[in-house]
Amino acid sequence: MTANYHSTRSTAEHMTSKQAILKGIAPDGGLYVTDSLGTAPIDITRLAKQTYHQTACQVLGALLPDFPTDEVASCVAGAYGDNFDTDAVTPLTPLGNDWLLELYHGPTCAFKDVALQMLPRLMSVARSSVEGGDGVMIVTATSGDTGKAALEGFADVDGCGVTVFYPHGKVSDIQRLQMVTQRGGNVAVCGIRGNFDDAQTEVKRIFASADLAARLAGRGVRLSSANSINVGRLVPQVTYYFDAYAQLVRAGALSAGDEVEFCVPTGNFGDVLAGYYAKRMGLPVTRLVVASNTNDVLTDFITTGTYNRVRPFVKTISPSMDILVSSNLERLLYYLSDGDCDYVAHLMADLAEKGSYTVSDELLAKLRATFDCGRADDDETRATIRRTWEDLGTLIDPHTAVSKNVLDARTGAGVPRVCLSTASPYKFSADVLAALGEDVTDLDGFACMDKLQSLTGTVAPARLSGLRSAAVRHDDVCDVSEMAAFVEDACARVFA
């Protein structure tokens, strides 16, 4: 097996991709990366003749080299089958003069499904061949969408449990219901009194606790992650960049070898980082545009070279982007610094101790060579939702609208431009309905869903509308300081 993964902060320990997926995060707090990124490029001249499944097999085979071809094929077939409501998996549709990459056709109606229908399968294969039967408890923090996608993906998976923390009162009604109604004998869900960054920071501490790890090991249990800090969660997202390119070629919007631009709404940086991986693997990407909401820490970083999380946290109508600590940025810093682990460790220490860091002029220049940025506040987001519906007849959710607003503000790049659409508008019915000028006072999420259907003539996904009759199964809420105890209790229950 090829042991080519190591921490962003040290090369002291190398491991296979299977081992990295099971660990989730490195013991030193770093994220797992491979120095082989880009050494096995994807042949873009063949993409247009391939199915999504075939391209996924190529991408995963290149980035997870210790998974044999038959294992990869089996995982891909299981991840992208009848659980997606379109054979295209992530269809590309016209959006005026641009294109919309619809990433919300999976079981939870959000882009996280593309990765979180794959990760449990990768982890199951890795567990059987590497760990020799130890139980794996997935522990993840969510700003809204990752939680349900992780719960759906790992529910009742043999040998695995899943514990999800979400910021209580800071996700949409539909997002909350998706999580608290989750079935499965191996799942645990808990709201936390705090925001996503509080939850994510504490989850990292939980992973770093040697005492907790020792106690769980005594029960034959280890922890792993379903957040995009897990390389097994990040890698599947690379596929839809290549597949979007294939769809552009088939549509006659470009020829193989022509450049393309992607605009990506992001908070934790994983979605847009997957585009950077695709570029390193041969996709001719001219620009990756980072679209931020009012919590614009990434926009400020790309503009100034200083990452500063010490700022007010703003609750917005695009809650999955309400993040001030973008964990996946650490992987990009590793690659842009030419693999300087000491430098990355220094930056992360500054972030932890001072709340900010500033990169070198050289690294900032490398960053700007590929990445651009923009932001949209809630008023701009609402206006974009309304304008996109009235002018183009396309209904978009608030996260997609952030990206569309940023894209509209940019001058034409002279290349096809793709806006990533990360969630169904019906996950945020109240905010979308209000953006269209309707009064949502005193309407619950389902009343808003019904009214939005009537107003637009569109149809809510059955997976969302069906939540109105689902029983609430998880009503726990805890302080941040109680999260570790909640995890330990969940492990005791699941792996009794």
Over residues 67-97, the pLDDT tens digits come to 999 999 999 999 999 999 999 999 999 999 9
Amino acid in the structure at residue 98: D
Integer Cα distance of 411 and 14 in angstroms: 44
Amino acid in the structure at residue 32: Y
Neighbours of 118 (CB within 10 A): 25
Q: Is the pLDDT of residue 478 over 70?
A: yes
Are 287 and 413 a contacting pair, CB within 8 Å?
yes
Are 453 and 460 a contacting pair, CB within 8 Å?
yes
Q: What is the rounded (10 degree) CA torsion for 208, 315, 181, 162?
A: -10
CATH class of 95-104+234-426: alpha beta
Integer Cα distance of 281 and 38 in angstroms: 4
Are 254 and 94 a contacting pair, CB within 8 Å?
no
Neighbours of 131 (CB within 10 A): 17
In sequence order, which residues have a C-beta less than 8 Å from that of residue 37 and are 6 or more positions away? 63, 277, 280, 281, 335
Integer Cα distance of 4 and 8 in angstroms: 12
pLDDT value for 225: 84
- Specify the higher pLDDT residue, 291 or 133: 291
Q: Is the pLDDT of residue 413 over 90?
A: no
Residue of 136, 120, 140, 123 lying closest to 79 (CA atoms): 120
Angle at 177 between CA 174 and CA 180, to 5 degrees: 155
Q: What is the pLDDT of residues 112-146, one digit of tens each?
A: 999 999 999 999 898 888 755 678 999 999 987 78
Q: Is the pLDDT of residue 391 over 90?
A: yes
Q: How far is CA 43 from the centre of its chain?
A: 25
**Percent of the residues in the chain that have a pLDDT greater than 70, as a whole number:** 99
Write down the domain spans for the chain.
Answer: 95-104+234-426
Q: Is the pLDDT of residue 45 over 90?
A: yes
Q: What is the pLDDT of residues 22-37, one digit of tens each?
A: 988 898 999 999 999 9
Integer Cα distance of 198 and 73 in angstroms: 38
pLDDT value for 298: 97
Integer Cα distance of 56 and 61 in angstroms: 8
Q: What is the pLDDT of residues 366-377, one digit of tens each?
A: 999 999 999 999
In sequence order, which residues have a C-beta less than 8 Å from that of residue 256 and are 6 or more positions away? 44, 45, 47, 48, 249
pLDDT value for 3: 67
Residue of 276, 244, 293 lying closest to 100 (CA atoms): 244
Q: Is the pLDDT of residue 399 over 70?
A: yes
Tell me the mean pLDDT in the region 220-249: 93
Write out the two tokens for 362: 């050289």
Are 100 and 93 a contacting pair, CB within 8 Å?
yes
Residue of 107, 76, 103 lying closest to 89 (CA atoms): 103
Neighbours of 480 (CB within 10 A): 16
pLDDT bracket for residue 411 (50, 70, 90): confident
Q: What are the residue ranges of helices labelled H in 127-195?
A: 145-154, 173-180
Q: What is the pLDDT of residues 331-358, one digit of tens each?
A: 999 999 999 999 999 999 999 999 999 9
